[in-house]
Amino acid sequence: MFQYNEKVMDHFANPRNVGEIPDADGVGEVGNPVCGDMMTFYIKVKDNKIDDVKFKTFGCGAAIAVSSMVSEMAKGMTLEKALQISNKDVAEQLGGLPENKLHCSNLGADALHKAIENYMEQHKEI
Ligand code: FES
């Protein structure tokens, strides 16, 4: 038996930034090999910063809370800083996750990083 803390429950019950950005500058999708859940992040970039971020997560409560937290952390950050957000940072910001749910936190930062890399690939400076 495990319990989620209040912060995790809040992000699960009221996830921030849920949705899709149809004209996103970068999109990142990851799947969790452990459970098969999926997460997609969409970003809008302005002046090298994450201007807007949305996500869609087909996953467990922890995965939804993690996506919500990642989106809040990343908003307004420079691309370089956002690339440094680690899965561990996210779990810490959430006040910890139950041991057997830690694998769920592996999706969040990975999906965000993929979206940023997707943007960078399209905007390679020559
Ligand atoms: Fe799949 Fe948590 S059980 S992400």
61-83 confidence digits (pLDDT tens): 999 999 999 999 999 999 999 99
Residue 54 has pLDDT above 70, yes or no: yes
**Does residue 87 sit within a domain?**
yes
Please give the number of the atom of ligand 1 that sits closest to the Cα of 37: 1
Task: Please give the radius of gyration of the chain, using alpha carbons only, rounded to the nearest integer.
Answer: 14
Residues 6+ apart with CB under 8 A from 87: 105, 106, 108, 109, 110
Residue 125 has pLDDT above 70, yes or no: no
Cα(69)–Cα(87) distance, rounded to whole angstroms? 11
**Does residue 89 sit within a domain?**
yes
**Does residue 19 sit within a domain?**
yes
Residue 35 in contact with ligand 1 by CB distance below 6 A: yes
CA of residue 123 to ligand 1 center, whole Å:
32
Question: Residue 126's pLDDT is what?
Answer: 56
Do the beta carbons of residue 5 and residue 95 sit within 8 Å?
A: yes
**Does residue 125 sit within a domain?**
no
| Strand order through the sheet with 26-31 | 26-31, 38-46, 49-58
Cα(70)–Cα(81) distance, rounded to whole angstroms? 13
Q: Which domain holds residue 37?
A: 6-119
**Does residue 13 sit within a domain?**
yes
Question: Residue 2's pLDDT is what?
Answer: 62
Do the beta carbons of residue 25 and residue 43 sit within 8 Å?
A: yes
Q: How many domains does the chain have?
A: 1
Question: What are the catalytic residues?
Answer: 35, 104
Residue 37 in contact with ligand 1 by CB distance below 6 A: yes
Taking CA atoms only, the protein residue closest to ligand 1 atom 3 is 60
Question: Residue 32's pLDDT is what?
Answer: 86
Taking CA atoms only, the protein residue closest to ligand 1 atom 4 is 104
- Average of pLDDT values for 82-102? 91
CATH of the domain at 74: 3.90.1010.10
**Does residue 124 sit within a domain?**
no
Q: Helix H segments across 22-93?
A: 61-74, 79-83, 87-93
Cα(33)–Cα(51) distance, rounded to whole angstroms? 30
CA of residue 46 to ligand 1 center, whole Å:
32
**Does residue 30 sit within a domain?**
yes
Residue 117 — very low, low, confident or very high, per pLDDT cuts 50/70/90?
A: very high
Cα(58)–Cα(76) distance, rounded to whole angstroms? 25
CA of residue 125 to ligand 1 center, whole Å:
37
Tell me: the pLDDT tens digits for 25-51?
999 999 988 888 999 999 999 999 999
Residue 18 has pLDDT above 60, yes or no: yes
Mean residue pLDDT of the chain comes to: 93
**Does residue 31 sit within a domain?**
yes
Residue 32 in contact with ligand 1 by CB distance below 6 A: yes
